[in-house]
Amino acid sequence: MSINYTERIPNNVDLGSNRILQRALEHWQPEFLNWWQELGPRDFQVADVYLRTATSVDAKGWATYGFVRMPEYRWGIFLADRDPNRKIGFGDSYGQDVWQQIPGEYRATLRRLIVTQGDTEPASVEQQRMLGHTAPSLYDLRNLFQVNVEEGRHLWAMVYLLHAYFGRDGREEAEELLERHSGDADKPRILGTFNEPIRDWLSFFMFTYFTDRDGKFQLKSLAESSFDPLARTCSFMLTEEAHHMFVGDTGINRVTKRTLEVMKELNTDDPVAIRKAGAIDLPTVQRYLNFWFSSSLDLFGSEQSSNAASYFANGLKGRPDETQYEDHIARESTFELGVPDGSGGVKTEQIAMRNAMNEVTRGSYVRDCDLGVKRWNRLIEKAGHSFRLSLPSTRFRRNIGAWAGVPTDPQGNPISQDEFDRGKATWLPSEADQAYILSLMHGVYEPGKMAAWIAPPDRGINNNPVDYEYVRMA
Ligand SMILES: [Fe+2]
Ligand SMILES: [Fe+2]
């Protein structure tokens, strides 16, 4: 169904035919806008921003571009088209018809899954709200705001499901999604990582590369759900999400590129000299990567999880790209897991495959993360340097799961707490690193100009040149 933009809430779910739902969402809309004004991007609400807006849910030509003031962005409800023949793709009810309504016994669980996903969307907008002041270019500023308005739309996506399928409980959850705030002492966001403010653009690029990619894999798992409206909502969100990871991928690429230029000009790889020239030395990039990758890994949950097993058995949340697996029931198979043996070593455990679903998803995520690392390394290799970026082990610096609080080096070898504390300065961003990165952060708002620590992008947005005026300040 095509998107209707004549209604107050743009949608492709024929909202006009359900007056009660429409009124409930129209009641929530001003509360959302208040939240956006209060906790969305700070001080740029009257700027004209070159943004894309969804105009269809087809893979081809789904968006249009134009200048919009962010509070006037047309947030709406867009679901991928319904496949009337879609069947349940995994778990105990494999092959049966998918659900258009929620079976009573799964109501509470599905609500929790939707709320947890929904909570991350506005949280990231809150975390990033100060970044507009220090954008390295207008191109980057525009990308930040594009990500922000789309996370706002993802909140709409989850709020629609809560309102449409969960009655009064759903309406209350939708209110609370605007009441919890990132970093709030009394009402924090649900997941830990989403309560840390993002103060600098290197962290923003790491966040969009690693943490938005966690979002991609969560959405992929939910896009497999037997609850068809959830699956269709998440399918379309994935289309939008791709740009967020592009921002992270190309951001880290451009930082690396600029650093390599400086290394060539100065003929040195000495971090002190590179910093003097205003660029970011590669070991510092690696330390930020270690931090954000490891904190994003925790978002997948424990390696062994009975919740994950029941989500899978009941068809609520599957594996990303479920069709790539041969066995969609996974009742008999097992998974080999490396866990601490309690005396400084590692032992292998065989666990039921269904209990290992978090780890299976995490494994797919890690392989996906590695593709970007390989691309960045090609730049470094081409420039003739032996330094390589790398993902640390999934055991490194974990706070959740079997390796939580177990000190290891970045290769995943168990070490003593003392060794870990000594190694920290080389493995994770130190206070001095953070102070240096923060010292680089100044807004660059002249069209085409870039901050000294980042190379320009290869191309602009929607065939516009890099020096296009992507954001027009009021
Ligand atoms: Fe999102
Ligand atoms: Fe995102």
C-alpha of residue 144 to centroid of ligand 2, in Å: 11
Q: Is 340 helix (H, G, I), strand (E, B) or coil?
A: strand
* CA atoms of 6 and 4, how far apart (whole Å): 6
The whole-number pLDDT of residue 6 equals 86
The CA 44 to ligand 1 mean position distance, Å, reads 21
Residue type, 86: R
Residue 34 has pLDDT above 70, yes or no: yes
| Nearest ligand atom owner, CA of 234 | 1
Q: pLDDT of 40-81, one tens digit each?
A: 999 999 999 999 998 888 877 788 999 999 999 999 999 999
Ligand 1 mean position to 195 CA, how many Å? Answer: 16
Residue 331 has pLDDT above 70, yes or no: yes
Q: Nearest bound ligand to CA 154?
A: 1
What integer pLDDT is reported at residue 106 of this predicted model?
A: 98
Residue-level pLDDT at 185: 95
pTM, to two decimals: 0.97
Cα of 154 vs centre of ligand 1, distance in Å, is 5
CA of 250 from ligand 2 middle (Å) equals 15
Which of the ligands is closest to the CA of residue 121? 1
C-alpha of residue 231 to centroid of ligand 2, in Å: 17
Mapped to the 3 state alphabet, what secondary structure does 140-173 carry? HHHHHHHHHHHHHHHHHHHHHHHHHHCHHHHHHH
Ligand 2 centroid – CA 434 distance (Å)? 24
CA-to-CA separations, 125 to 186, 201, 254, 306, in angstroms, rounded: 19, 14, 23, 32
Residue for token digits 């390589």? 388
| 3-class state of residue 128 by DSSP | coil
pLDDT category of residue 307 using cuts at 50, 70 and 90: very high
Q: 305 C-alpha to center of ligand 1: Å? A: 24
Q: What ligand has the least distance to the C-alpha of 242?
A: 2
Q: How far is the CA of 60 from the centre of ligand 1 (A)?
A: 20
> How much distance in Å is there from the Cα of 147 to the middle of ligand 1?
8
Q: How far away, in angstroms, is 157 Cα from ligand 1 center? A: 10
pLDDT digits 0-9 by tens, 355-406: 999 999 999 999 999 999 999 999 999 999 999 999 999 999 999 999 999 9
> Looking at residues 448-455, what average pLDDT do you find?
98
Distance 221 CA to ligand 1 centre (A): 14
C-alpha–C-alpha distance, residues 30 and 7, integer Å: 15
Non-local CB neighbours of 182 within 8 Å, separated by 6+ positions = 123, 124, 126, 127, 188, 189, 194, 195, 196, 197
Shortest-distance ligand to the CA of residue 243: 2
The answer, yes or no, to whether residue 474 has pLDDT greater than 90, is no
Mean pLDDT, the chain, integer: 96
The dihedrals phi and psi of 202, each to the nearest 5 degrees, come to: -65, -40
151 C-alpha to ligand 2 centroid (Å): 6
The closest alpha carbon to 387, from 248, 221, 274, belongs to 274
Helices and strands, number each (H, E), in the chain: 13, 5
Give the model's pLDDT for residue 419.
Answer: 97
158 pLDDT band (50/70/90 cuts)?
very high
Read off the pLDDT of residues 214-243 as tens digits, 9 standing for 90 and up.
999 999 999 999 999 999 999 999 999 999
Question: If you measure from the C-alpha of residue 260 to the centroid of ligand 2, how many angstroms do you get, rounded to a whole number?
Answer: 29
Alpha carbon distance 117, 203 (integer Å): 21
Report CA(21)–ligand 1 centroid distance (Å). Answer: 23
Mean pLDDT value across residues 153-168:
97
Which ligand has an atom closest to residue 122 CA?
Answer: 1
153 alpha carbon, closest ligand: 1
Centroid of ligand 1 to alpha carbon of 150 (angstroms):
7
Q: Which helix (H) or strand (E) holds 34?
A: helix 19-39
- Contact, 440 vs 453, CB < 8 A? yes
Ligand index nearest the alpha carbon of residue 152: 1
Cα–Cα distance measured from residue 298 to residue 291, given in angstroms and rounded to the nearest whole number: 11
Alpha-carbon distances, residue 262 vs 110, 373, 465 (angstroms): 51, 20, 25
DSSP, collapsed to helix, strand or coil, labels residue 363 as helix
pLDDT given for residue 1 in this prediction: 63
pLDDT, position 196: 86
**Tens digits of per-residue pLDDT, 190-220?**
998 899 889 999 999 999 999 999 999 999 9
